[in-house]
Amino acid sequence: AQTVTQSQPEMSVQEAETVTLSCTYDTSESDYYLFWYKQPPSRQMILVIRQEAYKQQNATENRFSVNFQKAAKSFSLKISDSQLGDAAMYFCAYHTGGTSYGKLTFGQGTILTVHP
Amino acid sequence: EAQVTQNPRYLITVTGKKLTVTCSQNMNHEYMSWYRQDPGLGLRQIYYSMNVEVTDKGDVPEGYKVSRKEKRNFPLILESPSPNQTSLYFCASSSPGVNTGELFFGEGSRLTVL
């Protein structure tokens, strides 16, 4: 079974600075997908970024980018120019490339605090 | 607007009193699932459904039931709730082959069992 580990329960960053959230995973599969979801205080789960394992290029969405190291099974999220609205719980998640009927395996989450 | 709707958003109940959390999606998605979120554990899948009348257990199914009689609805049933089912619950939907793995989540239901 796949596992996802987020080793940083909490992180903090100053507004306008850059922060990196860590995620490692364990799998024997070669085809899979990785995600970062954001959960603000409203509890809504918001997709931040998505990475296909077969793509070597790291995904980027505006101020959010990932560092995907397939051999090391590492998938970190970098937030540049941090804003107050980035404060939230962030979850790393794994999805098999095969049929899994919509199952995501989540990490424990990292609470990000943004200081003005 | 594409959405997943859960009700109720908040519920306090007592041990043993049956309750149902409803979930409805308007995107014609085949896959639907329920997750629970607990501190330090992230989200864990309770049950999932591949289509109408087809459901199966996820990672933490004990104490829960589901049904899928219509494509848009996937209620979560707690026949005899216990305090260890106090949690934040999410319903999610997705479609096979389209943006694989991307789930659409409801807004969550905070359940407290006394």
Instruction: Report CB contact under 8 Å: A106, B44.
Output: yes
Q: In which residue ranges of chain A is pLDDT below 50?
A: none
Sign of the alpha-carbon dihedral angle for B49, B88, A74, B94: positive
3-class DSSP state for residue B35? strand
Which chain A residue is nearest to residue B42, measuring alpha carbons?
A: A108
Nearest to B58 among A50, A99, A103 (CB): A103
Question: What pLDDT is recorded for position A31?
Answer: 87
CB atoms within 10 A of CB A85: 9
List chain B residues with CB under 8 Å of A99: 96
Best residue in A34, A38, A43, A50 to probe B by mutation, most B CBs within 10 Å?
A43
Instruction: Report CB contact under 8 Å: A101, B56.
Output: yes
- Burial of residue A80 (CB within 10 Å: 0-12, 13-18, 19+) is middle
Residue B98: pLDDT band with limits 50, 70, 90: low
* H-state helical runs in chain B: none
Q: Are B83 and B15 in contact (CB under 8 A)?
A: yes
Which chain A residue is nearest to residue B110, measuring alpha carbons?
A: A43
Question: What pLDDT is recorded for position B27?
Answer: 93
Question: What pLDDT is recorded for position B95?
Answer: 84
Q: How far apart are CA A82 and CA A64, in angstroms?
A: 10
Question: What pLDDT is recorded for position A102?
Answer: 74
Q: How far apart are CA A6 and CA A55, in angstroms?
A: 22
Q: Are B43 and B33 in contact (CB under 8 A)?
A: no
B43 to chain A nearest CA, in Å?
Answer: 6
Residue B33: pLDDT band with limits 50, 70, 90: very high
C-alpha distance from residue B28 to each of A99, A107, B94 (Å): 19, 28, 9
Q: How far apart are CA B12 and CA B15, in angstroms?
A: 10
Residue B80: pLDDT band with limits 50, 70, 90: very high
**Using omega within 30 degrees of 0 as the cis cutoff, is the peptide bond preceding B39 cis?**
no
Instruction: Report CB contact under 8 Å: A43, B102.
Output: no
Instruction: Report CB contact under 8 Å: A108, B44.
Output: no
How many CA atoms lie within 13 Å of A32's alpha carbon, on the beta-carbon side?
23
Question: What pLDDT is recorded for position B99?
Answer: 63
Report the percentage of chain B scoring pLDDT > 90: 85
A51 to chain B nearest CA, in Å?
Answer: 10
C-alpha distance from residue B34 to each of A15, A93, A104 (Å): 35, 15, 11
Instruction: Report CB contact under 8 Å: A99, B96.
Output: yes
List chain A residues with CB under 8 Å of B96: 99
A102: left (phi over 0), alpha (psi -120 to 50) or beta: left
Q: How far apart are CA B35 and CA B43, in angstroms?
A: 6
Which chain A residue is nearest to residue B93, measuring alpha carbons?
A: A102
